[in-house]
Amino acid sequence: IFFAVIFITGYFFTRPLILSLGRMKLERVFKGASVSIKNCGFKPRLISFYNIEIKKDKAYDIKIKEAGITYDLKALVNKNIAKVSFNDVSAGINPLKTFSADRIDVLNLNPDSAELYIPRINYDNLKTGEIKSSVKFRDSAISMSPLSVNFLGGNITGDLNILILSAKIVKYGFRLKALDLNIRSFVEDFKLIDKFEMTGSLEGAMSLEGSGPAVNELNGAFFTDKPGGILIIKDTRFLENIAKNSKQPLDIIVESFKNYNYNRGILKLYLSNGSIFMNISLNGETGRRDFTVVLHDFK
């Protein structure tokens, strides 16, 4: 009974201190943001924080249902934390849409590096599989390399570099290589099936640079693997634009994109005046098809 009383007394005195320290640490990272932590709990070698919200005006709103810190006293002496897990995470960063993750694990965290593992991420219609990366910290820079993402039935590898200049200015650069991305999965995940259908797989490379929510540079080139696939364009307005630009009758254009079999293709993309341009060139037995897709007001 004596030890139970000591434990309960220590818990009630320690809990407010741990909550206060947790808030202070987050406020240092997210300067100018309001931070709230509803509760915390203790187990041997584990400290848990519950219902965390980090919010700054209309800039961002981050919610974490549970954050658990697994520690070892001997490792703490060497400034190493065995594991930090974030469960049920959602983040809205204006003007971007909200992304969510069931779990995010940061392993072997120390002042210089860590290992990152995320089972999957949801962002609007985009869904990833496993994400793995080695992370390095240096002053105000964060480097993730190598970075591996399971996506659209294939794999993306590359590196991500983030430079935090101030609480309001964050710059980033992303370089990736893609292999065996399933085009049908892309069409279905992004709910484009009413506009067009396409089969096949892609591989290629892309680079992206930006500051905050703004993308400043985007370049990429992707190629279809053999044996190619089938393309069916259903969007009447898009077909009308192709007919207008090519100065050909609409009925000929419509017929040329009905069950078009291609055996190889090239997709080149770039950013111009806030819009993404995708120049697509396909070759098949019935000839070549060239057209451009524009995503306006890309953010």
* Structure confidence by residue, pLDDT tens digits, 163-172: 877 766 778 8
Q: Is 17 exposed, middle or buried (0-12, 13-18, 19+ CB in 10 A)?
A: exposed
pLDDT-derived band of residue 13, with 50, 70 and 90 as boundaries? Answer: very low
Among 92, 93, 117, smallest CA distance to 104 is for 117
% of the chain at pLDDT higher than 70: 89
Q: Using one digit for the tens of pLDDT, what is the confidence trace for 182-197?
A: 999 888 887 778 888 8
Cβ atoms of 98 and 104 closer than 8 Å:
no
CA distance 197 to 186: 10
Does 11 have pLDDT greater than 60?
no
Tell me what the pLDDT averaged over the chain comes to.
83
Q: Using one digit for the tens of pLDDT, what is the confidence trace for 231-260?
A: 888 888 888 888 887 788 888 888 888 888
% of the chain at pLDDT higher than 90: 34
Using DSSP's 3-state secondary structure scheme, residue 60 falls into strand
Among 172, 294, 270, 168, smallest CA distance to 222 is for 270
pLDDT at 7: 39
Does 4 have pLDDT greater than 60?
no
pLDDT at 159: 96
Q: Is the bond preceding 249 in cis, omega lying within 30 degrees of 0?
A: no
CA distance 142 to 159: 11
Among 47, 64, 150, smallest CA distance to 103 is for 64
pLDDT at 97: 65
Q: Is 86 exposed, middle or buried (0-12, 13-18, 19+ CB in 10 A)?
A: buried
CA distance 297 to 299: 6
Among 206, 204, 201, smallest CA distance to 217 is for 206
pLDDT-derived band of residue 10, with 50, 70 and 90 as boundaries? Answer: very low
Backbone φ and ψ of 246, nearest 5°? -90, -5
Q: For the whole prediction, is pTM greater than 0.75?
A: yes
Does 45 have pLDDT greater than 90?
no
Average the pLDDT over 101-105 and give the result: 94
Name the residue type at position 23.
R
Q: Where are the domains of the chain?
A: 1-124, 150-299
Average the pLDDT over 280-295 and give the result: 86
